[in-house]
Structures are given as C-alpha cells and as structure tokens.
Amino acid sequence: MTESSLLKRLEDVTSRLEDLYSKGVVDRSSPPNKSPELPEFVVNFDTKLAVSLDEVRKKADSVGESVVTCATQHYCECIGMLRNLLLLTTIAKKPQDGDWQSVLAPVMGLSKEVGKLLDSAGRAGELAPHVKATTEAMNLVMMFVTPGNPKDVITNCLESADYYFMQVLRRKIEAESAWVKAMKASLTHLQQYFSDDDRFKMGIMWKVKDGADPKE
C-alpha cells in the first residue's frame, strides 16, 4: 500500500466512524442534519493532545530531515487512529480474538510505513534511532489488547522508545533534542489522559448491548 493510499484509507476510516457515531446516538427530536456532540472523553482526548502533537510536528520539521518528518507524521496519525478506536468503543462490540487483525489493520499499516523508513535513514543509519524510537512509541495501540489501564502500556512504550531517544540526544544536535523532548511530552500527556479518566481504570470498555460489528 502506498503512503497516499494509506492516508486516504485513514481519512475514510475517520469519516466513517464519526458518521456511524452520529447515526447511532443522534437524538431523533433534534433538528435534521444536526450532528450530535462527540463523547466527552473523546473531546477531552482532542483537547489534551492537540497542542502537544502540533509541537511534535513543528519540532520534526525543524530537524530538517524528511525521514524524521515522515516518521513523526505517521506517529501523529497513529495517535489519531487511537482516538478513532476510542470513539469506536462507544458504538461497537468488543472485537473477538480473531477480529483484531482487521480492526487494527490501519494503524498496523502506519507502523509498517515507519519501518520502511529505515532503508532511507541516512548515511551509516544516522537517523535510525529516530525511526526506531518512533516505532516503539507507536506500539501504544497494544493498549486495546492488553488488560488494565492503558497508561501502563504507554509507560512501556515510553521506556522502550527512550533507549533510542537517548541515542538521539547523544548526537547533541539542538533541533533533534527538541524533537525528542516534544515526542516524550506527547506520550506523557497521553499517559496523563488515561490516568485522569476513571472510565479507563479497569481497561478500555466496549459497548455491550446492540453494538455494531467493529470490523465493518
């Protein structure tokens, strides 16, 4: 799958999810064409992550390396897909064990695209730590198949990514160090989001009754 087709698929998934949500929760007494508000926990997610993800993108651009910019963009798209999956939990039944590959396919596709960047990570693999750190950070999607509060999965991702972040910091390049700081801050904000909301205390809950098929 090319990068452009992957991005198109992600955009389609986002539009479809919000459309399904609208159809599933719209108040029939509401005026026609009036879209319902998103769940508060999704709105909080958008609010919590918007600024930090903007900062991540800016710092990636400041590095001046297309590999870092591309990897970071996919990381931000991964966070967006995480948000979409959280929205999906309000309208869909929990996927069966055999369904997860299909449900998580879009975000897994993003991880593969980042992995391909290792082939163009610069002379002697100078930018490989940047790519590998991003790949480790994107493993946060495992929170959907891991019992317990998602913040613990993010902690593990942050620790794994930090091994490569430290390699980047040793290069002592100011723009790259700022990128590391922004990436770690975004993960910390995400971790705090799940820690602050009691709905995630026992893990990610899915709609129990009359939920849609998550694969659709």
Question: For residue 212, what pLDDT band results from cuts at 50, 70 and 90?
Answer: low
% the chain with pLDDT above 70: 77
55-200 maps to which CATH number? 1.25.40.330
- pLDDT tens digits, one per residue of 73-88: 999 999 999 998 998 8
Q: Is 34 exposed, middle or buried (0-12, 13-18, 19+ CB in 10 A)?
A: exposed
* pTM, rounded to two decimals: 0.82
Q: In the chain, where are the structural domains located? A: 55-200
**Predicted confidence (pLDDT) at residue 187 exceeds the cutoff of 60:** yes
- pLDDT tens digits, one per residue of 2-15: 444 434 444 554 55
What 74-77 contacts at long range (C-beta under 8 Å, 24+ apart), as own/partner pairs, is 74/110, 74/111, 74/113, 74/114, 74/134, 74/138, 75/114, 75/134, 75/137, 75/138, 75/183, 77/7, 77/10, 77/110
pLDDT value at residue 211: 56
Q: Which residues contact residue 108 at a Cβ distance below 8 angstroms, ignoring those fewer than 6 apart?
A: 101, 141
Across 79-93, 107-121, 142-156, the highest mean pLDDT is recorded for 142-156
- pLDDT tens digits, one per residue of 159-170: 999 999 999 999
111 vs 214, residue with greater confidence: 111
